[in-house]
Structure 1
């Protein structure tokens, strides 16, 4: 669903008639801090990038964020910026503007929104989890476009997600809604770093696909690192252990998706991330397992499709989430 927003009480001032409104987007993860100025059609006009100093103290990480924002502010298009959208690795707490990314130890309850507000010259800032941002992107311009109820997932070094309900991205009170990776699908399963057991992420993420294959006797091809991509190569060659590891990941994903669909009724499931790049090795068993788990009449018709937006999804989605929350005049986004 695509909506033309009009100014509301909380909208930022409209820029001059010579320029379209832009949103400054930040995509913050454990390896990179990306920034862009995003126009009303979802085009990234200006980009900035810094590596995340993830093992440094919080102030050092924030300096990298400041550098990205400073680079965007130096662009001639910056005067058209009306807001900043942040999609951050989590957990995040949008209700108070803090972040505590698992993969950035120096940030625990870190006041990111306050820091970004200062660095951006006082523009309004909207914070969401990175899974919510990706859902916003895929709903606006990607595979979930036109669907009122969806879950959009990233299956990579972790498993994250976000929800679209009733035609709008649903971030939840703290910006973490739809975190499907930490649904428990194996009650007596391995402990998860989150503190629970048998989480989808503990079974279906890339590192855990590789870990399970190694524990079951798989060896990576000569010269290859023991990664999910290497497991995928072996699976394509017919290695039964590698195939079984992908099948187990697909089963965990199917169980988590079915549980989510039972709660909120989904029409489509969009999956991106590095593990999704395995293509039929993941999607074929996932669809087969989903047919066995999603058995109720209102869940059995779900489509499962690959994501479309790739590595830019976090930036596009951060802008879309900010547009939905602030409704700046003239900015179109997922409604």
Structure 2
């Protein structure tokens, strides 16, 4: 039984979470701070440092052999920098170097949050036992990651599998990324809600105009709400089918807030997938909801720290599960 631990950081626009993770994926010590997303880069780093200080103060810290970071993107793993869209103070911020200093020089591995979620679902979740998988996070944005040949495939910069910015509508709306007709521009929560509102759907007395409210309306039979989810499902299906055709995946796992819509999303998604994933080698593709929930980022950051690092260490053996 290995006793090595990995420190994990999950960095997003609303919270910075940290944990010490053991070889079974259990989170033994947790720390969290709100992300001061509108403040300076140094203020944001201060919140990260606070989380790390809480972890290093734990009596278990001595068993920690590496640090894994899953961050909102874009990230550049080769440069060790992050530029999260929703944290304007961080542009090419040298996060890896700063974290390495804060933890006394331990090895630090950085991946995008979609890749971290993928690592978690492959290790302990819905993609467990599959050698080739695509995992998607559908929420405010649409991110993702790939497992190929049984191994996490983050790519050189840590962003491989970023399905949200595959174009599925050649003459579609301009996406904030600069391209047109991106999956994210059609399938993200805010865009599902935007399309429903434009189509004449109106929020209830509580004024809730989120994708979750649109999902509730769709379940109640509102045609505009149903249509908005069908369009999102179609975009996701086209992106998943393109990915499956390119790299031969066996399963697509879908998490994030929008996946909480359940069959309102999954029924039209499976239907649309049958019309896009038509070649013999992609017809058997399975679609499943993610199961790791809000801890996926931390569990995945820990898994990524050990699966990505070349040569592997005792921690890799402990965490390869």
Equivalence for 1:12: none
Q: CA deviation at 1:225?
A: 1.7
- Secondary structure of the residue aligned to 1:301 is coil
Corresponding residue for 2:48? 65
Once the two structures are superposed, residues 97-123 of structure 1 have per-residue CA deviations (whole angstroms, 9 ceiling, x without a partner) of 000111111100000001100111111
Give the corresponding residue for 1:245: 228
Measured against aligned partners, the alpha-carbon deviations of 1:56-88 in whole angstroms (never above 9, x if no partner) come to 110110000000000001111000000000000
CA contact (8 A) 2:152 2:308 kept: no
Residue matched to 2:318: 332
Q: What corresponds to 2:290 in structure 1?
A: 307
* Greater RCO, CA 8 A, separation 6+: 1
Q: For each residue in 1:245-291, what CA deviation from the matched residue of structure 2 results, as whole angstroms up to 9, or x when unmatched?
A: 00000000000000001100010010011100010000000000000
2:252 paired residue number: 269
> Which residue matches 2:183?
200
Aligned match of 1:85 in 64, 68, 74?
68
Contact 2:146–2:160 (CA under 8 A) maintained in structure 1: yes
Tell me if 1:163 matches 2:160: no
Q: Which of 88, 100, 122 is matched with 2:83 structurally?
A: 100
State the TM-score, normalizing by the size of structure 2.
0.97
Structure 2: state its 5+ residue gaps.
none
Gaps of 5+ in 1: 1-16
TM-aligned CA deviation for residue 223 of structure 1 = 1.0
Name the TM-score, length of structure 1 as normaliser.
Answer: 0.93
- Choose from 199, 215, 221 the match for 1:232: 215
| 1:167-219 per-position Cα deviation (integer Å, ceiling 9, x unaligned) | 00000000000000000001111111111111000000000000000011110
Q: Is the 8 A contact 1:139 1:334 kept in 2?
A: no
Q: Give the one of 132, 147, 159 matched to 2:130.
A: 147
Does the Cα contact within 8 Å between 2:23 and 2:320 map onto a contact in 1? Answer: no
Is residue 38 from structure 1 mapped to residue 21 from structure 2 by the alignment? yes
> CA contact under 8 A between 1:168 and 1:334: conserved in structure 2?
no
CA RMSD of aligned residues (A): 1.1
Secondary structure, counterpart of 1:184 in structure 2: coil
Size of the alignment, in residue pairs?
318
